[in-house]
Amino acid sequence: MAAGTPTPDALVVGGGIVGLSVAWSACRAGVRVTLVDPAPGRGATWAAAGMLAPVTEVHFGEEALVALLLAAADAWPTFAADLEGATGRRVGLRTEGTLVVAADRSDRLAIDQVTLFQRSLGLPVTALTGRDCRTREPALAASVAGGADVPGDHQVDNRLVAEALVAACSDAGVTMVAQRAASLAVDGAGRATGVVLADGTVLGAGTVVLALGTAWQSLGGLPAPLVPPVRPVLGVTLRLRARGTALVPTRTVRGLVHGSVSYLVPRADGTVVVGATVEERGEPVEVTAGAVHGLLRDARTLVPSVDEYTLVDATAGLRPGTPDNGPVVGPVDLPGLVVAGGTYRNGILLAPLVGRGVADLLAGGAVDGPLAAFGPGRFAAGAGTPVPAAGARR
């Protein structure tokens, strides 16, 4: 930052989709914001598939997440329109819905159970036969054994969103600092006052917002009890492109293939995003041959024409998972410090809502609505746990 630049009201550390959304929302609310990240919009944001899936990402034991994910989905159309209006860029919001499909009869039984659970929560899901599925999506394999129609689960092009948010932040007056924050600065009274960058520069701010994804250990000076319980869960996605007359699904297809989740997310430009591995590990953030093999094997089981697509890209990212699979958003027990993260499998979906919630906080209000149940205090020693522990993922 240039000498003489006034101290910002807020310093957002971390420029994934959550940090970018916080920065843009806060700036639009009149908060003077600096964002620190050496490569904003990359990491898990770049690896994601862009599914906005409040229904198909809800599983047994996660009832408390439902209201939050539905509210997050409601926020997307306005967020996308505002972002497109502000930047003149498209972000690829598609509302064709999602088809859940089973590769075999035992997958069908598992999907039927989840469908019943989702319907018991009042979510819009309709069970389908295999023939129903293929009528809707002729690209599906003849062996598909049934599934469900989920009209409310949509998608955006997460890479277009990330690029648009970087542009929107710059245009709106967010100061972008392309460096790594090395440590948190805390004054003698125990208040967060800014960060020290990797090159030794000290940046001050009224409030520091940590949107660190899975990189919490990379920031020195953060007292251990305040580090959110976030673990990395590596995911690999592929980007394929259909050639010639190869059939392509017209909406997101989420499959269960011999017990493993597989999804194909078709973009308007002919790209199909295939995901995703779920690997309980962090560094190195690399794509293994086994990951590519498994993703292609399952995708072509559901959509045989995948064999004819070209492989364009394979990207790995780290999902920030928490003990209850819910995000961690709000002030922590250190004045001047706010955390925003833990969005796990729903970072793209949750980002606008989290951005607005933290912007409200920075503008002098509070995090309210369904997000208020997902503060960092729920993980503090001795705290009651308002959000039920998560069941196993399918």
Residue (72 or 208) nearer to ligand GLY, CB: 72
Give the list of residues 6+ apart from residue 173 with CB closer than 8 angstroms, or none.
27, 32, 33
Minimum distance between the CB of residue 354 and ligand GLY, rounded to whole angstroms? 15
For position 317 contacting ligand GLY by CB under 6 A, the verdict is no
Residue (57 or 107) nearer to ligand GLY, CB: 57
For position 255 contacting ligand GLY by CB under 6 A, the verdict is no
Among 275, 327, 331, 376, binds ligand GLY (CB under 6 A): 275
The secondary structure of 217-240 as a DSSP string is GGSBT--GGGS---EEEEEEEEEE
H runs (alpha helix) in the chain = 17-28, 44-47, 63-87, 105-120, 130-136, 158-172, 289-302, 347-362
Part in contact with ligand GLY (CB under 6 A); list of ranges 49-57, 122-130, 156-164, 208-216? 49-57
Question: Which pairs with CB-CB distance under 8 Å and at least 24 residues apart come from 138-144?
Answer: 138/247, 139/247, 139/248, 139/249, 139/303, 139/305, 140/101, 140/249, 140/253, 140/302, 140/303, 141/103, 141/301, 141/302, 141/303, 141/304, 143/103, 143/104, 143/301, 144/101, 144/102, 144/103, 144/255, 144/302
Binding-residue pattern over the window 52 to 81 for ligand GLY, x denoting contact by CB under 6 A: -----x------------------------
Task: Please tell me the number of Cα atoms within 13 Å of 316 on its side-chain side.
Answer: 19
**Is residue 46 within 8 Å of 317, Cβ to Cβ?**
yes
Among 181, 276, 291, 358, binds ligand GLY (CB under 6 A): 276
Minimum distance between the CB of residue 153 and ligand GLY, rounded to whole angstroms? 10
For position 326 contacting ligand GLY by CB under 6 A, the verdict is no
**Is residue 361 within 8 Å of 347, Cβ to Cβ?**
no
Among 154, 159, 319, 378, binds ligand GLY (CB under 6 A): 319
Minimum distance between the CB of residue 349 and ligand GLY, rounded to whole angstroms? 8
Give the list of residues 6+ apart from residue 364 with CB closer than 8 angstroms, or none.
none
Residue (49 or 101) nearer to ligand GLY, CB: 49
For residue 289, give Cα distances in angstroms to 266, 281, 315.
23, 16, 12
Minimum distance between the CB of residue 99 and ligand GLY, rounded to whole angstroms? 16
For position 345 contacting ligand GLY by CB under 6 A, the verdict is yes
Among 51, 230, 256, 353, binds ligand GLY (CB under 6 A): 51
Q: How many residues bind ligand GLY (CB under 6 A)?
A: 8
For position 267 contacting ligand GLY by CB under 6 A, the verdict is no
Binding-residue pattern over the window 216 to 245 for ligand GLY, x denoting contact by CB under 6 A: -------------------x----------
In the beta sheet, which residues pair with residue 155?
51, 94
Contacts with ligand GLY, residue ranges (CB under 6 A): 49, 51, 57, 235, 275-276, 319, 345
